[in-house]
Amino acid sequence: MLRVLVTGFEPFNNAKLNPSESLVTRLNSNDVAGAEIITKVLPVVYSKSATELLDLIDEYQPDVVLCFGQVAGRKEISIERFAVNLDDASIADNAGSKRVDQKIKVDGPAAFTSTLPVTDLVNTLNGKGIPSGASLSAGSFICNHIFYEMQFALAGTSVKSGFIHIPLMDEQQEEFPGLFTMPLDQMILASKIIISELVASSN
């Protein structure tokens, strides 16, 4: 049985919803054969998000960690390749903290790679009709912040981990007029396909 920790984020920047929160709250522990799924919604706060994630990893000792986050304007499921050592965003977190040109780890490497099979997962999702692509990095806000802290902590271990950005969901059309949205059910299906692929590759 593959133990998979799946996280999303609460809404941020005064938004009412976050599809990554909706996704993880809809996942059940036994949704994918061969996997035990553990879910958690993380705060969009620099000082808390990564700490909570690393505490969950310590508590549950997962084999895989999949972190999901929202990216407005994207038209596909984006599996991120790199976490960069940088906090730098035009908006503040949910605690009012704004970081500009700040290293996450003063003596840390410039970047870490995802340890997920990014290309294989993208090909599988596209093959099943779910628009997907590999993205270079997770940006430089909270999504990237937890991704970098996670990869730093898990470096050298056997845990597979990475970050996945998902588009806005249909329920956000009124709040984000003119921007692409994707049905939440399609994003949930994508997460289950990803987990199924990771189960298969672990056998």
Task: Please give the share of the chain, as a percent, with pLDDT higher than 90.
Answer: 100
The mean pLDDT value of the chain amounts to 97
Distance between CA atoms of residues 176 and 161, nearest Å: 30
- Residue 145 bears catalytic tag: no
7-53, pLDDT tens digit by residue? 999 999 999 999 999 999 999 999 999 999 999 999 999 999 999 99
**Structure confidence by residue, pLDDT tens digits, 52-101:** 999 999 999 999 999 999 999 999 999 999 999 999 999 999 999 999 99
Which of 21, 149, 165, 197 is the catalytic position? 165
Domain edges within the chain: 2-202
| CATH number of 2-202, picked from 3.20.20.105, 3.90.79.10, 3.40.50.720, 3.40.630.20 | 3.40.630.20
Question: Residue 160 pairs with which residues in a beta bridge?
Answer: 64
Q: Which of 21, 76, 80, 149 is catalytic?
A: 80
pTM above 0.75, yes or no: yes
Q: How far is CA 41 from CA 22, 25, 33, 90, 114, in A?
A: 9, 8, 23, 23, 21
Question: Which of these is catalytic: 143, 145, 149, 197?
Answer: 143
67 is catalytic: no
pLDDT for 44: 98
